[in-house]
Structure 1
């Protein structure tokens, strides 16, 4: 990890909100476009979660990861996954060092021993190699020759994968992909964004990211995120929503029962509720609401909901079933105090303005277009 930055910050909730807003602003200054992705990356950092980014090469995944590490004074490592990559290339290897009295075994740490690890094109590697990284993600430690070694804290993996229809890919197993807090589908930049990227990249070059927070401050931010209040009615709403994605339940929406193969489980519900707390913190609030759930519902659940063969024929996607589950949860929800009883009355924060309060619009539809 890089040296601690001698930077003062306020540990109150108000101070944490200001620090989160400053981090988001610095990310947006360096990275042009991908506003929703930047929100999700910062939310993942606040929640100590890992993120799976899906998109074609060349749309800024590496820049996002590198900039996130730089703004937080964190150690960053990039690992290119290839078919011949071995688990030892990720975790590290034991080496023999010659000493005066013979030989001594020494462990050489692999690239996983960093704060932010970019696992580029993770679905290019074999399942055995994928599982080595995913196990480290879950346990936040590695075991070599019977000895367990903790990974740095904070620790986050940003894994990228090419769309599965591209040649030479190995789909991540269902149990392993569930370890990612978010799955984000990256879109191509708009005309204005692409023009800005071109002006920046072929001109004076990318701006240098400035350090906004130390690792110590980041740990305090993560604690503050968990202190955001989630009312009992909101917890019930998340539980009802996640259960409605399961096709085996008789009261699930019709399309879920017809087209679903499996739905989200407890880990998905945990991720969604924690993501709602992060969304509230980024929006400058101390309490989470339905709008915060809707803001991140698709990236939190899309990789945890699978459709059957009939759905693929009819063009029904996991996102469609999540939308149905969201409507179901609203139709069966009690009013959450201060937030309105139904989706039509719920405001959604703007992805481009994390420091502002919730704005208007239909949250589920807006979320589908953003992430």
Structure 2
């Protein structure tokens, strides 16, 4: 099987476990292919954790889940030096934390205080962790998928802007339509029946990691025209100088997207084009992922919040006003 066929099979298998969230599944796969970390936000019970587990289950990868709580310590995430008494004498030995895996699920990341959230920063950006002056490298396939509850909920700690910017995309999970909710009920009921009856049988072999690396190599060869580069840069620039587009945007936007926004647009749009079977990027690819790329990088003003203007509405306005290439 080609890399494209294997990644498509991964999407299909995930879709069998996650009903009515095809966009979320696609964003998770794009994050995997673009070699970036994802922030997944939604109300409790919308299958955020299940979606990440479905990916790890069907991919040949080590999976680690960290439940973030208010009493968690940074060393609980990264690992620590542990004192050992051996025949050769006493020595300190590094005990790796759960961050050392291929797919790391940082569950409810905004339930832990800032010092624990910051423990992920070096791993997410540099793909390494430094403990007691020693640097420990992450595996070649490494991605952090963090879930969070809406910050309006009780007991949450908003992530600082510096850490939000480290995430490639901010994916929102919404309620499924009623038709899909019926299928969810039947799916979970069937899983319970299979558990009681001894299972469904042998699962298909997991998709090998090499398929991801091969896909990334092919995505690196996707053609991006000069006009498309300028279009992505114009979208980012529009978020920084909103007054040049409209008075409303000038009132609504406090801080625009960083250069990481431009890089994320490029990576994600190429991955999106590859998934659609094309060897070039067109405006539809950029528009398909621009909300996920900008959602956590544009800070709204108090005036926008007072007017009940959502971040997605602001991004819609930017997309509608920036000229197509």
| TM-score tier (shorter) | over 0.9
Separation of aligned partners in 1, 2:183 and 2:36: 30
Separation of aligned partners in 2, 1:134 and 1:211: 33
Secondary structure class of the residue paired with 2:81 = strand
2:104 to 113, 117, 127: 117
1:265 to 258, 264, 274: 258
Runs of 4+ in 1 over 6 A off after TM superposition: 206-209
Contact 2:109 2:148 in 1 (8 A): yes
Query: Deviation at 1:209?
Result: 6.2
The Cα offsets for residues 107-161 of structure 1, whole Å up to 9 and x where unpaired, read as 1100000010110111111101101112211111000111111111211111011
Query: Deviation at 1:99?
Result: 1.0
Query: Paired residue for 1:146?
Result: 133
Query: Deviation at 1:254?
Result: 2.5
Query: Deviation at 1:251?
Result: 1.7
May I ask how many residue pairs the two structures share in their alignment?
318
Separation of aligned partners in 1, 2:261 and 2:149: 23
The Cα offsets for residues 179-204 of structure 1, whole Å up to 9 and x where unpaired, read as 11111111112212221111121234
Separation of aligned partners in 2, 1:109 and 1:26: 31
Contact 2:49 2:147 in 1 (8 A): no
C-alpha root-mean-square deviation of aligned residues, in Å? 1.6
Query: Paired residue for 2:207?
Result: 213
TM-score (normalizing by structure 1): 0.82
Query: Deviation at 1:16?
Result: 2.9
Query: Deviation at 1:21?
Result: 1.7
Query: Deviation at 1:85?
Result: 0.4
Query: Paired residue for 1:318?
Result: 311
Separation of aligned partners in 2, 1:209 and 1:36: 25
Unaligned runs of 5+ in 2: 195-199
Query: Within 5 A, what are the aligned runs for 1:1-371?
Result: 9=1, 15-205=2-192, 210-247=204-241, 250-330=243-323, 333-334=324-325
Contact 2:243 2:249 in 1 (8 A): no
Unaligned runs of 5+ in 1: 1-8, 10-14, 335-371
Query: Deviation at 1:210?
Result: 3.7
Contact 2:3 2:212 in 1 (8 A): no
Query: Paired residue for 2:197?
Result: none
Secondary structure class of the residue paired with 2:129 = strand
TM-score (normalizing by structure 2): 0.93
Report the CA distance shift for 1:150/1:245 in structure 2 as closer, same or farther (over 3 A).
same
The Cα offsets for residues 328-352 of structure 1, whole Å up to 9 and x where unpaired, read as 222xx44xxxxxxxxxxxxxxxxxx
Secondary structure class of the residue paired with 1:245 = helix
Contact 1:28 1:38 in 2 (8 A): yes
Query: Deviation at 1:253?
Result: 3.0
Separation of aligned partners in 2, 1:218 and 1:16: 7
